[in-house]
């Protein structure tokens, strides 16, 4: 069948501890940066919904895992909360161990492979006040946390990832005001980015040196960079956007070294970075076993502006709005399904055709309650079905042409809390009632079940 995916293909969804669990101050969990930010500036959060309860998975995980089985999932990715497992950074919280072990065991018992991420933007607050990713100590703090997780759960978890979208806290925290520390400082951004990458490297080192079973990877949000024209200046702009926002983590994770163009950027901008020579040795040696790719939108750029009064990055490239773009008006993001195919071929040709999977892909819609069918009591989210179908068609084309993709995870399972936007845009296959915490399957849930069970997109979809 033309639309059949490879045997043992992974079907499921992704989420994270801070966006799904809730119970942010329960059973010994320590404060994270998000808990702190909400305490101090709740007005920054949409409808003043904080991270305390979110989607209540901590208390409803047993029923939620049953629902995953009903949706045909054979895999699910979430994250461990660093602040829950090691509240003081040193001593294991046994209540956290009991919780996560039961979650992972129940997933396995229901035929759902756990893919477990170590960090999803939720820096423990006690480490943040010491400098967070700017403090070199964080590298070894993270490696210790990773090793602790491997020892506590390695008999249950065989697929680990160190970070989800490590570029995001750097971009949003050091070149924007959407994550803490909410500063605009290219020097601090690069140092924090280097320490993040080294934290990943030392975690992979701990995993492989101790010969834990399974595989370890990283999840990156790859945004293909498309120039506005064939003009050499626009082509150059696309190159710089790709180097800074894709290759800055992709190359060291897979190839074990930073791209030369990134080194050129650092020299041009006179950025001073502190590191030790052995860091680069370990980076070269401890590369990933597989790659997760989050894809939502492309990046379209045009030639930069040489005026030094502008933002540093705008010297290299500026955003470009493609006139023919198909947009999600609720998120302000372009929907460009072919981008997933372009990523598949890029990985095949330039990254040793490393095993990879789509770790996130989905569409968020504001005011989704207006699509509830009053008779069925169900959200009629055909737009989500169309979005996934069109992306999967392009993904299948990439697989047919030899790209080594082994799975597809939608973002997300149940509507979950999002950074500063909270529940403004709904992404789930299952709707969450914020007042009662009740769950209700959307139309896309039954569609996804058929997709996963058939391991294929029928011709008429």
**What would the pLDDT profile of 258-283 be if each residue is shown by its tens digit?**
999 999 999 999 999 999 999 999 99
> Which residues, at least 6 apart from 395, have a Cβ–Cβ distance to it below 8 Å?
340, 341, 344, 358, 405, 408
pLDDT at 2 over 50: yes
Q: How many residues does the chain have?
A: 461
- DSSP 8-state class, residue 46: G
Angle made by CA atoms 419, 423, 424, in degrees to the nearest 5: 95
**97-118 per-residue burial string, b: 16 or more CB within 10 A, e: under 16:** bebbeebbebbeebebbbbbbb
CB 180 within 8 A of CB 170: no
CB 337 within 8 A of CB 391: yes
Reported confidence tier of residue 311, pLDDT bands at 50, 70, 90 = confident
Instruction: Give the Å distances, CA to CA, from 458 to 1, 2, 151, 242.
Output: 9, 9, 43, 35
Among 21, 141, 334, 360, which one carries the catalytic annotation? Answer: 360
What is the model's pLDDT at position 310? 65
> Which residues, at least 6 apart from 324, have a Cβ–Cβ distance to it below 8 Å?
none
- DSSP 8-state class, residue 354: -
Reported confidence tier of residue 289, pLDDT bands at 50, 70, 90 = very high
State how far the Cα of 45 lies from the Cα of 43, in Å rounded to an integer: 5
State how far the Cα of 395 lies from the Cα of 400, in Å rounded to an integer: 9
pLDDT at 166 over 70: yes
Whether this prediction's pTM lies above 0.85 is answered by yes
Angle made by CA atoms 121, 127, 133, in degrees to the nearest 5: 60
CA dihedral (271, 275, 277, 279) in degrees, to 10, reads -120
Residue 305, token pair as written in the block: 């502006």
CATH class of 10-454: alpha beta
State how far the Cα of 453 lies from the Cα of 72, in Å rounded to an integer: 6
**What would the pLDDT profile of 101-130 be if each residue is shown by its tens digit?**
999 999 999 999 999 999 999 999 999 999
**What would the pLDDT profile of 339-353 be if each residue is shown by its tens digit?**
999 999 999 999 999
What is the model's pLDDT at position 377? 82
437: left (phi over 0), alpha (psi -120 to 50) or beta: left
**Average pLDDT estimate for 285-297:** 98
Strand duo 225-227 + 299-303: pairing: parallel
Among 21, 134, 165, 378, which one carries the catalytic annotation? Answer: 165
Residue 233, token pair as written in the block: 């200046």
What is the model's pLDDT at position 374? 80
What is the model's pLDDT at position 309? 65
CA dihedral (302, 307, 310, 312) in degrees, to 10, reads 70
Active site annotation includes 360: yes
**Average pLDDT estimate for 398-407:** 98
What is the model's pLDDT at position 1? 46
Is the preceding omega at residue 181 within 30 degrees of 0, hence cis? Answer: yes
CB 28 within 8 A of CB 96: yes
Whole-number percent of the chain with pLDDT over 90: 93
pLDDT at 313 over 60: yes
For tokens 């390695």, what's the residue? 154
Radius of gyration of the chain (CA): 21
Q: Cα(first)–Cα(last) distance of the chain, in Å?
A: 14
pLDDT at 461 over 70: no
Q: Which of 392, 295, 402 is nearest to 354 (CA)?
A: 402
Of the CA atoms within 13 Å of residue 76, those in its CB half-sphere come to: 30
State how far the Cα of 303 lies from the Cα of 320, in Å rounded to an integer: 9
**191-202 per-residue burial string, b: 16 or more CB within 10 A, e: under 16:** bbbbbbbbbbbb
State how far the Cα of 247 lies from the Cα of 265, in Å rounded to an integer: 13
What is the model's pLDDT at position 307? 76
Instruction: Give the Å distances, CA to CA, from 9 to 277, 323, 353, 392, 433.
Output: 40, 36, 17, 13, 32
> 85-94, 323-332, 360-369: which range is least confident on average?
323-332
**Taken in order 149, 154, 156, 160, is the CA torsion positive or negative?**
positive
Residue 215, token pair as written in the block: 């595989």
Q: Which of 433, 290, 450, 289 is nearest to 359 (CA)?
A: 290
For tokens 């470009």, what's the residue? 320
> Which residues, at least 6 apart from 458, have a Cβ–Cβ distance to it below 8 Å?
3
Of the CA atoms within 13 Å of residue 55, those in its CB half-sphere come to: 28
**What would the pLDDT profile of 193-215 be if each residue is shown by its tens digit?**
999 999 999 999 999 999 999 99
What is the model's pLDDT at position 459? 67
Active site annotation includes 334: no
């Amino acid at each position: 069948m033309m639309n059949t995916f490879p045997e043992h293909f992974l079907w499921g969804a992704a989420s994270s501890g801070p966006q799904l669990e809730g119970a942010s101050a329960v059973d010994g969990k320590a404060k994270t940066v998000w808990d702190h930010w909400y305490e101090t500036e709740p007005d920054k959060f949409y409808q003043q919904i904080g991270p305390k309860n979110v989607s209540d998975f901590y208390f409803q995980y047993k029923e939620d895992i049953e629902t995953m089985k009903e949706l045909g999932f054979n895999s699910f990715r979430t994250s461990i909360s660093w602040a829950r497992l090691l509240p003081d950074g040193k001593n294991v919280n046994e209540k956290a161990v009991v919780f996560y072990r039961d979650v992972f065991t129940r997933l396995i018992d229901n035929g759902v492979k756990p893919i477990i991420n170590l960090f999803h933007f939720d820096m423990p607050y006690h480490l943040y006040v010491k400098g967070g990713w700017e403090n070199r100590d964080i590298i070894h703090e993270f490696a210790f946390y990773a090793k602790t997780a491997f020892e506590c759960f390695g008999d249950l978890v065989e697929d680990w990832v160190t970070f989800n979208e490590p570029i995001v806290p750097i971009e949003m925290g050091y070149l924007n005001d959407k994550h803490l520390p909410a500063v605009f400082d290219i020097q601090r951004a690069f140092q924090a980015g280097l320490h993040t990458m080294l934290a990943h490297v030392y975690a992979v080192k701990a995993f492989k040196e101790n010969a834990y079973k399974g595989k370890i990877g990283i999840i990156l949000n790859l945004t293909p960079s498309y120039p506005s024209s064939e003009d050499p200046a626009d082509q150059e702009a696309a190159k710089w956007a790709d180097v800074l926002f894709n290759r800055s983590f992709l190359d060291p994770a897979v190839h074990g070294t930073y791209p030369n163009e990134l080194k050129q950027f650092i020299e041009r901008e006179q950025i001073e970075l502190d590191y030790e020579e052995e860091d680069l040795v370990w980076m070269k040696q401890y590369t990933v076993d597989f790659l997760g790719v989050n894809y939502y939108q492309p990046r379209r750029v045009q030639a930069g502006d040489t005026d030094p009064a502008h933002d540093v990055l705008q010297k290299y490239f500026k955003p470009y709005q493609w006139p023919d773009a198909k947009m999600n008006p609720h998120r302000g993001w372009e929907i460009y399904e072919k981008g997933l195919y372009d990523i598949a071929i890029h990985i095949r040709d330039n990254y040793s055709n490393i095993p990879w999977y789509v770790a996130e892909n989905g569409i968020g819609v504001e005011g989704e309650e207006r699509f509830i069918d009053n008779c069925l009591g169900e959200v009629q989210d055909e737009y989500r079905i169309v979005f996934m179908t069109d992306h999967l068609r392009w993904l299948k084309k990439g697989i047919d042409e030899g790209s080594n993709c082994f799975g597809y995870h939608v973002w997300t399972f149940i509507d979950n809390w999002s950074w500063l936007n909270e529940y403004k845009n709904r992404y789930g296959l299952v709707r969450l009632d914020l007042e009662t915490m009740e769950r209700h399957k959307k139309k896309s849930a039954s569609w996804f079940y058929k997709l996963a069970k058939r391991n294929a997109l029928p011709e008429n979809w």
